[in-house]
Amino acid sequence: MTRLQHKVAVVTGGTSGIGLATVQRFVAEGAFVYIFARRKDELDKTAALLGPNVATVAGDVRNIEDLDRLYAAVAADGRKLDIVVANVGAVDSVKLADVTIDSFNHNFEVNARGVLFTVQKSLPLLNHGASIILTGTIAALRGFPGRSAYAASKTALRSYARTWTMELKERGVRVNTITPGPCDTPLIDAQVSSKEEADLVRAKHAANIPLGRMARPEEIASAMLFLASDDSSFVAGSELLVDGGMCSV
C-alpha cells in the first residue's frame, strides 16, 4: 500500500466523513497529510488517531489569513505539495422563496470562494505534476428543492477544474472534480433530531440510488486515491461520479 509513498497532501475538512476517510487512506498509502479544519478539538483527535504522518492547522477556508497559515506551515517544514484536496463544503438548504443574503453568501463563501483561495494559495508550493481534487455534489447535476444557492456554488467547481487545467498545464498539474452521491456520514445524524429521523433519511436516499444503498466514506476515499495517485496520470479537467449510478441511469 504505497501508491502515495513520499507524497505530501493537504486535505481541507479532514476530520470527519469523506475528508477523514480520505486522510486515513492517503496515510495508509504512504502520504504525509496536512489536515485543515475549523475545530481544534477534532483536529487533535484526528492527529492522535493517525499518528506521526499528519500535521494539523486550525482555520476556516473563508479566512485568507487562515489559509496563509496553512501553507506557511507546509513551507516551514521544508515541504512541497503533490496533492491538494479542497474538500470543505457548506450546505445551507433554503427554498427559493426563503433565500436570504446571509444564506446565499454562506454557500458561496465556503463552496466557491473558499475553494478558489484554497487552491490559489497552494500554487507556490505545488510540485510539477501535482493533483488538485475538488469535492463537488450531485446537486449540481440534478434538481433538489432547497438547494438553489448550494448547487450553484458547487457547480462553480466543475468550471474551476476546466479553467485551472488549462491555466496550469505548463506545470503538468491535473485538476479534477469528484462528485459523490449520498454518503452515510455523521452529517446525516447532525441534521435531524432522532435516530428514527436519520433512518428515514438514509432509507429515502437509498431508494433513489440504483445500487440500493448510500456510499460509505471509504468508497469515496478510494476514488480520491485514484485521482491523487499516478493511476490517474492522464486524467485532467474531468468529473468523476461516485454516486451508485444515481445521475447516470
Output the pLDDT for position 65: 98
* Whole-angstrom distance, CA of residue 216 vs CA of residue 184: 6
Summarised one tens digit per residue, pLDDT across range 100-136 is: 999 999 999 999 999 999 999 999 999 999 999 999 9
- Cβ neighbourhood burial of 151 (10 Å; 0-12, 13-18, 19+): buried
CA distance 171 to 131: 11
Tell me, what's the pLDDT at 198?
84
pLDDT of residue 243: 94
| Arithmetic mean of pLDDT over the chain | 94
Q: Which residues in the chain land under pLDDT 50?
A: none
Q: Which positions are catalytic?
A: 150
pLDDT of residue 185: 83
**Architecture category of domain 8-183+217-242 in CATH:** 3-Layer(aba) Sandwich (3.40)
What are the two backbone dihedrals, phi and then psi, of residue 247, each rounded to the nearest 5 degrees?
-105, 5
Domain spans, the chain? 8-183+217-242
pLDDT, residue 99, reads: 94
Q: What is the pLDDT of residue 196?
A: 86
- In this structure, how many other beta carbons lie within 10 angstroms of the beta carbon of residue 134? 28
What residues form DSSP beta bridges with 57? 36
pLDDT computed for residue 52 by the predictor: 96
Which pLDDT score, from 0 to 100, does residue 199 have? Answer: 84
In 201-248, DSSP assigns E strands to 239-242
Q: Which residues of 205-240 are buried (b: 16+ CB within 10 A; e: fewer)?
A: beeebeeeebbebebbbebbbbbbbeebeeebbbbb
